Amino acid sequence: MERTMEEVCEDTCTGSELAADDWNGTRIDEQTAIDLAELFKALGDPTRMKLIYALLDRELCVHDLCVILNMTQSAVSHQLRYLRNVRIVKRRKTGKTVYYSLDDTHVKEIVLLTIQHLAHG
């Protein structure tokens, strides 16, 4: 991308109390922004949110998740793959059935914190 605002703006804009070169700390690293967004995007769908919520405290097999969400096995399986790709969820196989659980406690903390915030909305 290139400069998008007119040059003159930089001289006339009195909007910020900061000097133009004193924006360190306000600019996030590009890759960090992408990584953060990727994680949040994974949480940003009702179906995946329900899956994650169901897995907050226990592992569950695909079938049980289908019943809980009342959705087709295919749709659930596709979303589980999505969540697995971004390391939110992990698999454990026993015979024919595959158990899913949260990959670590990070996401649980984030979700619980956010639920609190919604409650005090």
Give the interface with a second copy as residue ranges (CB under 8 A): 1-5, 9-10, 13-16, 18, 20, 23, 25-28, 30, 32-46, 48-50, 53-54, 57-58, 60-64, 66-68, 70-73, 97, 99, 106, 109-111, 113-115, 117-118, 120
Within 91-110, the residues that bind DNA by CB under 7 A are 91, 93, 95-98
d(CA 10, CA 12): 6
> 116: number of CA atoms within 13 Å, CB side?
6
Sole window of 25-33, 71-79, 107-115 interacting with DNA (rule: CB under 7 A): 71-79
d(CA 6, CA 40): 33
CB of 32 to DNA, least distance (A): 16
How many residues touch DNA (CB under 7 A)? 33
Angle subtended by helix axes 30-43 and 46-54, to nearest 10: 80
d(CA 14, CA 97): 63
> Should residue 81 be labelled a site residue for DNA when binding is judged by CB under 7 A?
yes
> Should residue 73 be labelled a site residue for DNA when binding is judged by CB under 7 A?
yes
Where residue 12 falls (left for φ over 0; alpha for ψ -120 to 50; beta otherwise) is alpha
Cβ–Cβ < 8 Å for 100, 62? yes
Site residues for DNA per CB under 7 A:
1, 6, 8-9, 12-13, 15, 41, 44-47, 61-63, 66, 71-75, 77-82, 91, 93, 95-98
